[in-house]
Structure 1
Amino acid sequence: MRNKKICLLTTSLSSGGAEKMAANMSLSLSRRGYEVYVVSMKNEIDYEYAGTLYNFGKVKAQHNRFLAFLKFRAFFRQHQFDVIIDHRVRDKFLKELLFAKLVFKSSKVVYCVHHYILELYFSMVNIPLLLRQVLVKNREIIVVSKVAKQKIKEQLNFESKVIYNYIIPKRNVHEVGLSGGFIVAVGRLENIKQFGVLINAYHNSQLPKHNIKLFVLGEGCEREYLEQLILKLNLQNYIELLGFRNDADTYIKHSKALVMSSASEGFPMVLIEALALKTPVISFDCKSGPSEIIQHNINGLLVEDQNSEKLTEAMDRMILDKAFYNNIRNNLEQMPNPFSEENIMGQWVEFLGEF
């Protein structure tokens, strides 16, 4: 019996957590003998992946919309995948209607939901009749958090299954040549990540006085605003915006802690990556994900949601209370990783075998 032919459909292979999961799944499924194809809607390819890549971003750049769509449909008709795992944001009704009726109609599709804000993944959520038109009949829904599962049941009356995200640690994490210590934050420089809130909380903390720097890894539309804020607070010697980096895990590994200040999340990859690298974490207890990842006072600190004063206090406590910090680090060294590739991919393989 041949191994299943799997298509991983993603917005891109760069920058985001959902995109990172698509890349990770391509590596994991390929190693387990699946025939893997990755379809990227944008020509943004930074993450390591495995399998055959269909870069639809390039196709769109070379053809008009109609011809590009025909090529997209022809690709799926040619390959007749056993399962399509869709990691994209799916908030454009007409686009998803065309895909459901003209591209994926006869396919088995797994709709992945990476955030509890359902409008990102189900267009027309308030009009059930229209909503069902953009979903194929032979479908399953996988969510990355318990909050998302609950919302899908309450709001849409759909059943879904929780399978958490996971990361694949690199075998060799090189040293970072830095004097003194630092904390790190990772993500797109966008409003939802609230790096401005983090910078202000850091400014109010004792960390600059102890020469503990803040490195922010990521790129986005708020870079200029954040640069100006750093200058305004006279923190240019303490905060660096390092841009998007493929070696983010190196900085996470060698940081004293990873801090997340988001307004909301889905199931944040940066938190599970930090814990896999045995780095303590500090995060707002925002929806959704942090409370399912962080065990307060054991592997990190959960901060009252959107309380920037408490965020400042948490950073000071984590870094400056040596006994507390060492206890967290010791816990991390001893704790098994519930978000390991082996654990999570075992769930995916079982699921794919049943679907």
Structure 2
Amino acid sequence: MHITLIISSLSPGGAEKVMAAMANYWAGNNQDITLITFDSRNSDSYIFNDRIKRHALELLTDSKNILESLANNYKRIKRLRSILVDSKPDIIISFIDKTNILAILSNIGLKYPLIICERVNPRKYRIGRFWRLLQKMLYPLSDALVVQTEATKLWFKQKLKFPEEKTYVIPNPVIISSQNSKNIIKEKLNIISMGRLVRQKGFDILLDSFSKIAEKYPDWTLTIIGKGEEENNLKSQAKYLGIEKQVIFTGFIKNPFEYLQNADLFVMPSRFEGFPNALIEAMSYGLAAISFNCPSGPSDIIRNGTDGILVNCEDTDGLTAAMDDLMSNKEKRGQFSKRAREVSERFKLEKIIGMWNNLLEEVIRRKK
């Protein structure tokens, strides 16, 4: 089967990591894979199987005005359509809203089977009125829509009137690196959190919550992995709260294996999510987890009271109480840790790819 995958960029990110894993898995199982990005290869953060045909269009540029935006998107559609005509895929998979729209427009008249995939929570993520209108008009031209949770499926049915029978729920897989653990002598216990340093991820709330109990736990540190536009603000906040000596900002780390392996607790303070890779990755390493019960994803991953704790979204005091509970109770952390590892089987890569394979076969069969 010849599968063409389309995504804006392969820079660090959850959707990008999942697409890279899917591409490599299929290529490693003798599928013909074409992988297209609008960005250049310089932004690639993942290593790919040599069998994958890679097209980097180098057309991911900012537009200064509407006319320039229209011109840039026309160039993207034209180039993308040309590749589709030449490569003649059996099926196309596109990731993320605006890229989905451009993929649909590129495929008009070609009629290749096309699956579009949403990777964020549309209730919280704003793409603008024009793009939302295009979503409503063009998404029905696709052959299937993949979302990550039942809540997101319901949103597309109610808000965009997307046909329920063409909507499929496929969660993210657990993607972990196989490395040997290192025996690191730990001087302190450690809470870890990771993600892009943007408002959505809620690290400002985490710092506020941690500051309320940091003095009570001088032998604990908080490590935040990631980079983003809020980095300087967050560092200033930590200093203002008087906890800068207990908070570590690592910046972006391509493979956070060692940090996860040697942490004692994982906290995800996001205001909203799609289906958080960071959470399932942390739990796969046996970390007891605390997360806001934000829309959407955490409640599909954490079994509250079994392998972690769900806290009402943006409840600073509730997050503080949950951290205090697990930081003070090693036995409880250990119980959650044992059950957390089960996430590796629940969201096993082979299991998730099997769901995708079934969908590909169904869409191709239905298209004939």
TM-score (norm 1): 0.88
Distance of 2:237 and 2:337 partners within structure 1: 32
Residue matched to 2:58: 57
Residue matched to 1:196: 204
Contact 1:116 1:147 in 2 (8 A): no
1:170 equivalent to 2:177? Answer: yes
- Please give the per-residue CA displacement for 1:204-245, whole angstroms capped at 9, x wherever unaligned: 124763321111111110011011112212222211111111
**Residues 1:343 and 1:69: Cα distance change in structure 2 (over 3 Å):** closer
Shift of 1:188: 0.5
Supply the AA of the counterpart residue of 2:48: Y
Shift of 1:125: 7.9
1:306 equivalent to 2:314? Answer: yes
**Residues 1:37 and 1:153: Cα distance change in structure 2 (over 3 Å):** same
Residue matched to 1:231: 239
1:137 equivalent to 2:145? Answer: no
Mean CA deviation greater in 118-127 or 222-231: 118-127
* Runs of at least 5 residues in structure 1 that lack an aligned partner in the other structure: none
1:41 equivalent to 2:46? Answer: no
* Runs of at least 5 residues in structure 2 that lack an aligned partner in the other structure: 63-70, 364-368
Shift of 1:267: 0.5
Contact 1:230 1:239 in 2 (8 A): yes
Residue matched to 1:341: 349
**Residues 1:77 and 1:59: Cα distance change in structure 2 (over 3 Å):** farther
Contact 1:84 1:108 in 2 (8 A): yes
**Residues 1:219 and 1:336: Cα distance change in structure 2 (over 3 Å):** closer
1:26 equivalent to 2:30? Answer: no
Distance of 1:123 and 1:76 partners within structure 2: 29
Contact 2:38 2:60 in 1 (8 A): no
1:280 equivalent to 2:288? Answer: yes
Residue matched to 1:16: 13
Contact 1:143 1:164 in 2 (8 A): yes
Shift of 1:58: 6.6
- Report the 3-state secondary structure (helix = DSSP H, G, I; strand = E; otherwise coil) of the residue aligned with 1:283: strand
Contact 1:9 1:88 in 2 (8 A): no
Identity %: 24
Residue matched to 1:112: 117
**Residues 1:11 and 1:195: Cα distance change in structure 2 (over 3 Å):** same
Distance of 2:295 and 2:234 partners within structure 1: 24
1:254 equivalent to 2:262? Answer: yes
Distance of 2:160 and 2:53 partners within structure 1: 35
Paired positions, count: 344
Shift of 1:11: 2.1
Distance of 1:126 and 1:206 partners within structure 2: 43
1:182 equivalent to 2:190? Answer: yes
Shift of 1:99: 4.5
**Residues 1:192 and 1:351: Cα distance change in structure 2 (over 3 Å):** same
Distance of 1:47 and 1:162 partners within structure 2: 25
**Residues 1:264 and 1:79: Cα distance change in structure 2 (over 3 Å):** same
Contact 1:12 1:41 in 2 (8 A): yes
Shift of 1:173: 4.7
Distance of 2:142 and 2:269 partners within structure 1: 38
Contact 1:90 1:122 in 2 (8 A): no
**Residues 1:252 and 1:207: Cα distance change in structure 2 (over 3 Å):** farther
RMSD of the alignment, in Å?
Answer: 2.7
- Please give the per-residue CA displacement for 1:76-97, whole angstroms capped at 9, x wherever unaligned: 2111111111112328xxx93x
Distance of 2:324 and 2:229 partners within structure 1: 29
- Report the 3-state secondary structure (helix = DSSP H, G, I; strand = E; otherwise coil) of the residue aligned with 1:6: strand
- Report the 3-state secondary structure (helix = DSSP H, G, I; strand = E; otherwise coil) of the residue aligned with 1:84: strand
**Residues 1:67 and 1:310: Cα distance change in structure 2 (over 3 Å):** closer
Contact 2:198 2:229 in 1 (8 A): yes
Mean CA deviation greater in 145-154 or 287-296: 145-154
- Please give the per-residue CA displacement for 1:306-349, whole angstroms capped at 9, x wherever unaligned: 11111011111112212211211233356762111121111111
Residue matched to 2:104: 100
Supply the AA of the counterpart residue of 1:164: P
